[in-house]
Structure 1
Amino acid sequence: MSPVQDAPTERLALSGWQRLSPWAVGLLLISAGATLVRQHMPLLLGAGAGLAMVERVGLRELALGGVLLLLVAGLLSLLYYRRFRFRLDGDVLIVQKGLFEHREFKVAARHVQHIALHQPAYMRPFGLVLWEVETLAGEASSIQLPGIRRGLAEALGHGLRGAASIAEEKGSPGSDSDPTGARGAVRRFTLTPAALILHGLTSRSIYVIAAMLSPLIRPLERWLHDRLPQLDLQAWLPESTLLAIVLGVLGLVAVLALLAVLAAWWRFHGYVLRGDGERQVQVSGLFARQEQVLSLSRLQVVEWVQTGLGRLLGRGYLVCHQFGAMGGGEAAEARRFLVPGLTTEQGRELTAVLWPGLNLGQPLARVDVIYRRVVFLRLLLGSSLLQLAVLGLVGPGGLHPATWGAAAATLLVISAGVAQLRWMAMGWAQEGAHMRIRQGLWGQRTSIFPLQNLISVSVQQSWLQRRRGVATLQLDLANGRVGLPYLPERVAWTLANRLLASVEVGQAA
């Protein structure tokens, strides 16, 4: 029996009030308790605070207090379970919840832009998932059902697609093995283990991990200060100090790279992207499996992202943005529809699938050469201030004049090279009804979007730009602002008028 034939039965079953699984309430209680203990464990163990509390209160009284708190938490969880209910009224999802304050949420199917299913490892034996729906307002208005049966989650997804999506799925027989419930889905991309490792090495995770581990630098420094005098380092460290520093830096980079690969393996293991008509479905995760559904009608911007190492290895990833998904690096990209470990050719093919009719063969146009001069002057000013600061620290006689001259010449060459690369990396092209904008220096990010998806267009000019006859074009999109600096003034105004006309035509259509 096809999903279309099952749809009336599913919608009839969901029209009555549904509740969370009792197993989910117990699991959420345990996970919340573990999180609370983990957050306050440093306070209890630090400086003997836990032992002082035990001696002051007493072990027996402390255990009775813990049992009492557990009973209170259990009663509150039972009350929360009784008040949490949801149902599908036509094409409107109604959720009622609240412990002391009763609240009701309603989400119309036409306002749904993103549906995600998460299955942590502790929920997998019970067949439960965390079901989340996101509206056009973005993450701030998302609604989560923290623990329902997988079949019920899939039925909710089918019900919220609306009559138009159900009509599109006619003739596609169902399959029990397909998590989307559609046998007609086409497998568009499968992430291989080699591609997964390359994505971990070339993604921005290594910078995020380095930032997360930065608070450990001071404790590690103190530990080394206390332990190094007691260790016989001469037996295994090289005699050259420079070689020892190089080996230490390489070891640190290797550890960060290993952690980045493990993070990518944790998140994207078993990654599969399937296309089912207007819907694109991805499934991934090592222990915590997650499933995300992207509706092409809600798609606003597609970004092709390559880090510096990714450009050398020919690897990158696609980030699909919808309404309410503001920019914000790797941490924010964790909640977005992301296709990792792609080669350049695979990125082009998938972009053409997401934006039908797009032709990426047109070369990118560069901004005016004045942009290169401005970047060069800024870098030259910064390097000059750096030299003056060093001169103030070491004094005029601290270094030989030839050394100062060599340093100044080196900084001059570096500034000129960086300015040239920045100018060459900045580019744009209008390809029919789509626009492509590339930004970045070592790593690059290329935004591709239909002209009608623009939110606003503005032309800005500083006093220097007015004198030189150039202007900056600012484009506001669903994922943030994209700028084209130092365009010729005539080109900037012509492009702005063309973009606004395309937006008006799209709104009228």
Structure 2
Amino acid sequence: MNRLHPFSAVVYALRYGLLWMWLPFILVSLLAGTVAVVSIAWLPVVTALGFLFGAGYGIVYYYRFEYGITPDTFDVASGVIARRSREIPYRRIQNVDVRQGVFQRVLGLAIVTIETAGGGTSEAALNVVSKSEADRLQHQIRRRTAAVDQDDSAESAEDDPSAEHPSEDAPATDRPDETDRSDERPSSVETDSRPTADRRESSRQRLFALESRELLLYSLTTVRPAAIAAIGFLFLFATDTILDLLVSIAQPLGGPEDLQNGDTQSYGVLTVVSVINGVIITYLVSVAYTFATYYDFRLGRVDEDFVYERGLLQRYSGSIPAEKVQSVTVTDNPLQRLIDYAGLWVETAGYGPDSSGGSQSAVPMARADHVHRFTENLTHVETPAFESPPPIARRRYLVRYSLIAAAVVAAVFGLAQVTPIERWYFAAVVFATVPPAAHLRYVHLGYYVGEDHLVIRRGFWRRRTTVIPYFRIQTVSTRRSIFQRRLGIASLVVDTASSRTLFWDTPTIYDVDLEDARGVHRTGRTRLQSALRERARTDDAGFSVDFT
């Protein structure tokens, strides 16, 4: 078993020291006003004692933290009072991320996180190890995971009678040819005397690199949810300095002199100006965040895995096992569609896009035709001919958005009853947006039932086109609301083993005829069984890492 880098002792000592110093501080502060024997003068002493005790605990935690690579599992043991030992089988490991902040990059250190199937949270985190040790762990775990996957595929093929006695009618390309595969590997690998790190670097094949122009376009045309949350938090807990700054910006435009002195009109100007400033600041923060996150993004191939690197201030590197990929999604928004650009994302079991462990973006942004070609080469899906929902779905959206517009007008009318707002009826202009909104939602919906894949398109502000191999489908469920039952339509939810987040929902075929939904349901179930048998026979992962 191995220990973390000695600098980890300092990290844990500071972490637990700062955490535990607050416990006696809060306790003495509360008791000093109610218990006579407790004095507020104790604070410096008890705070220092709390820090020392926490720092000591952190150092002991460092010495009690061990990890190691075994033939079948990656083992981690931790804990001081309550010990926890984890054995993580390689077949469950989805990704090994290596993360470096600015300070860690200067010192040659890194944080290693291991993601597994079954959730988006990290199964194990090594904080911190040397960069060379992080690269070694990443390579060793990736290699052992690939070996386990190959063994599982071989066992499945042995258990399948059709694998041992392939049909004479089967095309020759469907039969594995081990000789051809071995010929693709250079014979010098076995006898290469170069250091292991050099051999790994030379075996990496570059698939995609985000150019400076594309990075800038991606930053300017993307709004990150993290930026919205950060600015919302800032405005929620705005200090007097921030409020005074907003007032001073609004004053030349008719805002109040201060928050205590003003009329309805000046306060209205202050509100409008503050909202505009919030939008501008949010956008600028989003641009900076996206630029720093995807700076120097590179995607490559090592054996049967995708490997990526990205980040300016904090550098990430990780892998995307082709065997574990559940679906592929092409994304774009109105601005990106206007300039004919798009992005490509992949999802693995228990580790979906935008998860906390790291990005699963294969191509953050590139020409739309390039992204579509990447997708076709990656998944081998034929060019989809999308089917749209019936016209009654558009009328449904028209009614839905009309009700929303009516609610907005009603809210403005109610506000006018308790405030000096006049001409509330101007809010009815929102009804003008209802027809185009209903139409845009309708025309961006579609689905395609292919021979090997199901393709689902949905969304306008963030349109997503998801390609799902049939053998990756976990469940297909038909959902019908009260209104859908009255209209004879239904929505079909297609679920895989990948993670879902607040901003990345389950692929859904919305508002199709009930009979069409049932037909897709039956077709998906039938082709799922066929795809599983074919995959076991041909040992096909379903995705290709050679997609350039």
> TM-score, with normalisation over the residues of structure 2?
0.73
CA distance in 1, matches of 2:94, 2:196: 25
Provide the C-alpha distance between the structure 1 equivalents of 2:414 and 2:253, rounded to a whole number of angstroms. 41
- Does residue 335 of the first structure (1) align with residue 335 of the second (2)? no
1:130 Cα deviation (Å)? 1.1
AA aligned opposite 1:374: R
Q: 1:467: Cα distance to partner? A: 5.2
CA contact (8 A) 1:113 1:134 kept: yes
Q: Which piece of structure 1 moves more, 100-109 or 240-249?
A: 240-249
C-alpha distance in 1, partners of 2:196/2:392?
Answer: 58
User: Is the Cα–Cα contact under 8 Å of residues 91 and 162 in structure 1 kept in the other structure?
Assistant: no
Q: What corresponds to 1:278 in structure 2?
A: 304
CA 34–419 in structure 1, closer or farther in 2 if over 3 Å, else same = same
Residue 362 of structure 1 aligns to a residue whose secondary structure is: coil
Question: Do the aligned residues in 1 keep the contact of 2:17 with 2:51 (CA within 8 Å)?
Answer: no
CA shift, 1:372, in A, is 0.6
Alpha-carbon distance between aligned partners in 1 of 2:318 and 2:436, rounded to the nearest angstrom: 42
Q: Is the Cα–Cα contact under 8 Å of residues 472 and 492 in structure 1 kept in the other structure?
A: yes
Distance 2:522 2:2 in 1: 52
The structural deviation recorded for 1:462 is 4.8
TM-superposition CA deviations, 1:416-435 (whole Å, max 9, x none): 22111111011111333112
1-structure distance, mates of 2:250, 2:90: 68
CA deviation after TM superposition for structure 1 residue 80, in Å: 1.4
Choose the corresponding residue for 2:347, options 284, 308, 321: 321
Is the Cα contact below 8 Å between 1:110 and 1:162 reproduced in 2?
no
Determine helix, strand or coil for the equivalent of 1:158: helix
Deviates more, 1:84-93 or 1:242-251: 242-251
> Among residues 475, 482, 486, which one is paired with 2:494 in the alignment?
475
Aligned length in residues: 467
- What residue number does 1:502 align with? 527
Deviations 1:175-227 (A, max 9, x none): 8797992413221121223322222222231x532332224336658557767
3-state SS in 2 of match to 1:499? helix
- Cα distance, 1:163–1:232 mapped onto 2, change above 3 Å: closer
CA 1:93–1:394: 2 relative to 1, 3 Å: closer
**Conserved 8 A contact 1:80-1:99:** yes
Q: Is the 8 A contact 1:91 1:160 kept in 2?
A: no
Please list every run of 5 or more consecutive structure 2 residues that lacks an aligned counterpart in the other structure.
33-38, 151-181, 256-264, 501-505, 537-548
Indicate yes or no: 2:72 matched with 1:91.
Answer: yes
- Change beyond 3 A, Cα 1:263–1:243: same
Does structure 2 retain, via aligned residues, the 8 Å contact 1:186–1:274? yes
Tell me if the contact between 1:91 and 1:159 (Cα under 8 Å) persists in the aligned partners.
no
Percentage of identical aligned residues: 22
Checking the alignment, whether the CA contact within 8 Å between 1:23 and 1:126 is kept in structure 2 is no
CA distance in 1, matches of 2:476, 2:71: 39
Q: 2:396 aligned with 1:374, yes or no?
A: yes
Mapped to 2, the partners of 1:227 and 1:301 lie a distance apart of: 47
Q: Name the CA shift for 1:221/1:312 in 2 (closer, same or farther; >3 Å).
A: farther
Q: Is the 8 A contact 1:428 1:437 kept in 2?
A: yes
Q: Which residue, 272, 290, 293 being the options, matches 1:267?
A: 293
Preserved contact between residue 320 and residue 336 of structure 1 (Cα < 8 Å)? no
**Superposition pairs of residues 46-85 of structure 1, within 5 angstroms:** 57-58=40-41, 64-85=45-66
Give unmatched runs, 5+ long, in structure 1: 1-16, 50-55
The Cα of 1:499 is off from its aligned counterpart by 0.5
SS of 2:461 mapped into structure 1 = coil
Change over 3 Å in CA distance of 1:259–1:36 after alignment to 2 = farther
Question: What letter corresponds to residue 514 of structure 2 in structure 1?
Answer: E
AA of the residue aligned to 2:340: G
- Whole-Å separation in 1 of the counterparts to 2:128 and 2:284: 33
Kindly indicate whether the alpha-carbon contact (under 8 Å) linking 1:121 and 1:287 is maintained by their aligned counterparts in 2. yes
The answer for the alignment partner of 1:158 in structure 2 is: 139
| Aligned residues of 1:204 and 1:307 also touching (Cα < 8 A) | no
2:98 to 87, 100, 117: 117
Mapped contact 1:116–1:132 kept (Cα < 8 A): yes
8 Å CA contact 1:433, 1:451 repeated in 2: yes
Which residue does the alignment assign to 2:154? none
**SS of corresponding position for 2:507:** strand
Preserved contact between residue 202 and residue 315 of structure 1 (Cα < 8 Å): no
Residue 129 (structure 2) aligns with: 148
SS of equivalent residue, structure 1 residue 367: coil
8 Å contact kept, 1:25–1:147: no
Q: 1:489 to 1:65 in 2, by over 3 A?
A: closer
Change in Cα spacing, 1:65 to 1:266, as seen in structure 2 (3 Å) is farther
| CA displacement, residues 41-83 of structure 1 (integer Å, 9 cap, x when unaligned) | xx99xxxx9xxxxxx644xx65554543443233222321222
Distance 2:254 2:14 in 1: 48
CA gap of 1:229–1:444, structure 2 versus 1, over 3 A, is closer
Comparing 475-484 with 76-85, greater Cα deviation is found at: 475-484
Task: For 1:179 and 1:413, locate their aligned partners in 2 and report how far apart those are by CA, in whole Å.
Answer: 63
The structural deviation recorded for 1:454 is 0.8
RMSD: 4.0
Could you say if the C-alpha distance between residues 463 and 259 of structure 1 is closer, same or farther in structure 2, counting changes exceeding 3 Å?
closer
Q: Which residue of 2 aligns with 1:208?
A: 226
Q: Is the 8 A contact 2:389 2:510 kept in 1?
A: yes
Q: Label 1:156 to 1:442 Cα distance change in 2 as closer, same or farther (>3 A).
A: closer
Distance 2:281 2:245 in 1: 21
Superposed counterparts of 1:177-326, under 5 Å: 181-205=200-224, 207-217=225-235, 223=241, 252-325=278-351
Of residues 410, 416, 421, the one that matches 2:435 is 416
Q: Are positions 1:487 and 2:512 aligned together?
A: yes
Contact map agreement 2:113 2:123 (CA 8 A) in 1? yes
Residue aligning to 2:81: 100
SS at match of 2:138: helix
Do the aligned partners of 2:316 and 2:358 also contact (CA within 8 Å) in 1?
no
Q: Secondary structure at the match of 2:350?
A: coil
Verify the 8 A CA contact 1:154 1:180 in the aligned structure 2: no
Question: Secondary structure at 1:283's aligned position in 2?
Answer: strand
| Separation of aligned partners in 1, 2:68 and 2:196 | 26
* Structure 2 Cα separation of the partners of residues 161 and 221 of structure 1: 49
**Preserved contact between residue 190 and residue 272 of structure 1 (Cα < 8 Å):** yes
Which deviations, in whole Å up to 9, do the C-alpha atoms of 1:110-144 show, x marking residues without a partner? 12111111122222233222111111122346111
Provide the secondary structure at the position in 2 that maps to 1:19: coil
Counterpart Cα distance in 2 of 1:315 and 1:232: 38
TM value normalised by structure 1: 0.78
DSSP 3-state at the match of 2:102 = coil
